Chains A and B, each alone.
Chain A
């Protein structure tokens, strides 16, 4: 078990390294003009531009730059933003913003899980009946229509009808509701549809038939066997989902003026804020990759079928 965790951990590290290296080098393909604003460029002489590039650590051998970046990371220095928040330490930017994204993201995940699972169960239990159709309708609307549209309509209409603020105010609790719920909508659909599918799949399994033939009441079969087994594959994705909430939701954060991490990456790329882009990509890929890693570990823990190398084989023969 420990050997397995170490091995998976090592693999994850390698993947993170490749991702960050790839992005680092891609950023170097961007034209240097991007580091200047229009006014600057007019005002600055060629030398001054060079001075500026040097001062933000852009000129020189990209491999050397990468090395410096890594050695900075090693001592916990994420560097400073160069154009998005000039000179502001990146760690402090992230610390400041991640809190918001995390708070909204976690509440949204909570809501998605509770409502998504409830909806999924309801749909599976009433397969091909009204509840199922309504649930499917919801899922279809959420998944097929670009989110921008319905999120926008929710913001304008629902806030108007309920008289809630249109943007988020940290000190007005009701202003949290709409963004959180909006953020949860796709999650609810996701959980509902997969749980429904897994439950329906489970229901056709031989062991469910055997459980029924043992005379277990339907409710017990549903909770004790079907739901339990159907939920297991969903659990695998939970760590990734939780970790990635830190990354925030671009659309919702921008619509509700939530100062989270959501739009920061896009903005940073467009501003060619290399240190910030690198830090964010590093952060997100670490979260994503380690989410997968944790998901795998979690599966090993909850699914007895998954045997790991290095663990002794039990199971005798007749």
Chain B
């Protein structure tokens, strides 16, 4: 979007200027205060910077439409993704007429329906984990950064948590709890929040001693309001980004957990389960892997890129 700029006009030649204008003009003090500064809105600039790249618009649209479709599909469709067919001829049907858009799997279940139900499950999982991780991470991180006294303790917790292999926690929890959605949420969040907290803490450290925070302290502003008014607003963009990036990450983890047998119960429809099931049959019925993979890739890639682009866009240095 190149802007055409008209060339600057040269100053008028004195002889072209009317003599009548050479009289004192009234002075408007208000006007002189008003003239200058450009309206710059952080959020408007962020959105504008974000929308500047065509690819991010495309991906944003994809991200939204896939997410919306995943949540809407179960409401409008009457295909049961778990409907097992007892007709052998329904099993493993390749995509095509009478077999659904993505074909059927080894028990005659409709892969198209399963893909969208699965996307919904995985997105929900990602979202819930992101909310937990980011919510807890934000809160603890803000506290960690702001309250000097707890730094040592938190750092030690960080060291310990990041060094207990996540699989240990996952496996243990799937014994203690029922394997399933919430187990994965708890297992992922129980260690996931700390890295976000760490990240937030570092951010908070850089803004904690900013002059406007000192100003607030001089005005006797309570800690709670300092955090909500002075710190958190600066972290909103980070939160959005972290949330967007946690979703592809959790989808990846879910696939991985399925691989090691600790994922969602296989009877539940999730992208991870679809992929792992499809992978087993890849040589025979490649569409059982490729169809959900394409959807998964679009979802994860769009979340990933949108998250990153948003992070870039939310950085005021990029507001050019």
- A residues at B contact (CB < 8 Å): 14-16, 18-19, 22-23, 26-27, 29-31, 34, 140-141, 143-149, 152, 156, 204, 250-251, 263, 265-266, 269-270, 277, 281, 284-285, 288-289, 292
Contacting residue for A144 out of B172, B276, B301, CB 8 A:
B301
B286 to chain A, nearest CB (A): 10
Tell me the nearest residue of chain A to B275, going by C-beta.
A149
B176, A29: Cβ atoms under 8 Å? yes
Contacting residue for A204 out of B171, B272, B304, B317, CB 8 A:
B317
Asked if B251 is at the interface of the complex by the 8 Å CB criterion, the answer is: yes
Asked if B74 is at the interface of the complex by the 8 Å CB criterion, the answer is: no
Contacting residue for B168 out of A31, A141, A277, CB 8 A:
A277
B293, A149: Cβ atoms under 8 Å? yes
B171, A266: Cβ atoms under 8 Å? yes
A144, B255: Cβ atoms under 8 Å? no
Q: With contacts A144-B304, A152-B279, A204-B317 known, is A15 near B165, CB below 8 A?
A: no
Contacting residue for B165 out of A156, A265, A292, CB 8 A:
A265
Asked if B162 is at the interface of the complex by the 8 Å CB criterion, the answer is: yes
A231 to chain B, nearest CB (A): 21
Q: With contacts A144-B300, A146-B296 known, is A269 near B172, CB below 8 A?
A: yes
Q: With contacts A22-B160, A22-B164 known, is A146 near B252, CB below 8 A?
A: yes
Find chain B residues with CB under 8 A from A250 CB: 260
- B273-296 interface (Cβ within 8 A of A): 275-276, 279, 282-283, 289, 293, 296
A15, B252: Cβ atoms under 8 Å? no
Asked if B207 is at the interface of the complex by the 8 Å CB criterion, the answer is: no
- B238-288 interface (Cβ within 8 A of A): 248, 251-252, 255-256, 259-262, 272, 275-276, 279, 282-283
Find chain B residues with CB under 8 A from A265 CB: 165, 167-168
Asked if B144 is at the interface of the complex by the 8 Å CB criterion, the answer is: no
Tell me the nearest residue of chain A to B305, going by C-beta.
A140
Q: With contacts A30-B172, A148-B259, A251-B259 known, is A281 near B165, CB below 8 A?
A: yes
Complex CA–CA separation, A246 to B125 (angstroms): 32
Tell me the nearest residue of chain A to B260, going by C-beta.
A266
Find chain A residues with CB under 8 A from B303 CB: 144
Q: Which label, helix, strand, loop or mixed, suits the secondary structure of the B interface?
A: helix
Q: With contacts A144-B304, A148-B275, A270-B171 known, is A285 near B163, CB below 8 A?
A: yes
User: 13 additional contacts, CB 8 Å, given A140-B304, A144-B303?
Assistant: A23-B168, A144-B297, A144-B301, A146-B275, A148-B276, A149-B297, A251-B256, A263-B260, A269-B171, A270-B261, A277-B168, A284-B165, A288-B163
Asked if B175 is at the interface of the complex by the 8 Å CB criterion, the answer is: yes
Find chain B residues with CB under 8 A from A140 CB: 301, 304-305
Kindly name the residue among B160, B162, B251, B256 whose own CB sees the greatest number of chain A CB atoms within 10 A.
Answer: B160
Asked if B159 is at the interface of the complex by the 8 Å CB criterion, the answer is: yes
Complex CA–CA separation, A144 to B304 (angstroms): 6
B300, A156: Cβ atoms under 8 Å? no
Complex CA–CA separation, A265 to B276 (angstroms): 21
Complex CA–CA separation, A250 to B165 (angstroms): 13
Complex CA–CA separation, A145 to B275 (angstroms): 12
Complex CA–CA separation, A29 to B272 (angstroms): 29
Find chain B residues with CB under 8 A from A251 CB: 256, 259
Find chain B residues with CB under 8 A from A266 CB: 167, 171, 260, 262
Asked if B156 is at the interface of the complex by the 8 Å CB criterion, the answer is: yes
B255, A19: Cβ atoms under 8 Å? no
B301, A141: Cβ atoms under 8 Å? yes
- Contacts A/B (CB < 8 Å), 17 sampled: A18-B160, A22-B160, A27-B172, A29-B176, A140-B301, A144-B303, A146-B251, A146-B275, A147-B256, A148-B279, A149-B293, A149-B296, A156-B282, A251-B259, A265-B165, A266-B260, A289-B163
Complex CA–CA separation, A34 to B156 (angstroms): 32
A281, B164: Cβ atoms under 8 Å? yes
Q: With contacts A156-B282, A289-B163 known, is A149 near B255, CB below 8 A?
A: yes
Contacting residue for A281 out of B168, B276, B300, CB 8 A:
B168
Find chain A residues with CB under 8 A from B261 CB: 270
Shortest 9 CB-CB contacts between residues of A and residues of B:
A144-B304, A146-B255, A146-B252, A269-B171, A285-B163, A144-B300, A15-B159, A144-B301, A288-B163
Find chain B residues with CB under 8 A from A34 CB: 175
Complex CA–CA separation, A250 to B248 (angstroms): 20
Complex CA–CA separation, A22 to B157 (angstroms): 12
B301, A145: Cβ atoms under 8 Å? yes
Interface string of B164-206 (1 = CB under 8 A from A): 1101100110011000000000000000000000000000000
Complex CA–CA separation, A204 to B317 (angstroms): 10
Find chain A residues with CB under 8 A from B272 CB: 146
Tell me the nearest residue of chain A to B55, going by C-beta.
A133
A148, B172: Cβ atoms under 8 Å? no
B254 to chain A, nearest CB (A): 8
Complex CA–CA separation, A15 to B155 (angstroms): 10
Find chain B residues with CB under 8 A from A269 CB: 167-168, 171-172
Complex CA–CA separation, A149 to B162 (angstroms): 26
Find chain B residues with CB under 8 A from A146 CB: 251-252, 255-256, 272, 275, 296, 300
Complex CA–CA separation, A140 to B245 (angstroms): 12
Complex CA–CA separation, A269 to B275 (angstroms): 25
Find chain B residues with CB under 8 A from A288 CB: 162-163
B167 to chain A, nearest CB (A): 5
B84 to chain A, nearest CB (A): 26
Tell me the nearest residue of chain B to A128, going by C-beta.
B53
Tell me the nearest residue of chain B to A14, going by C-beta.
B156
Complex CA–CA separation, A211 to B279 (angstroms): 54
Complex CA–CA separation, A27 to B165 (angstroms): 13
Tell me the nearest residue of chain A to B152, going by C-beta.
A11
Kindly name the residue among A16, A266, A277 whose own CB sees the greatest number of chain B CB atoms within 10 A.
Answer: A266
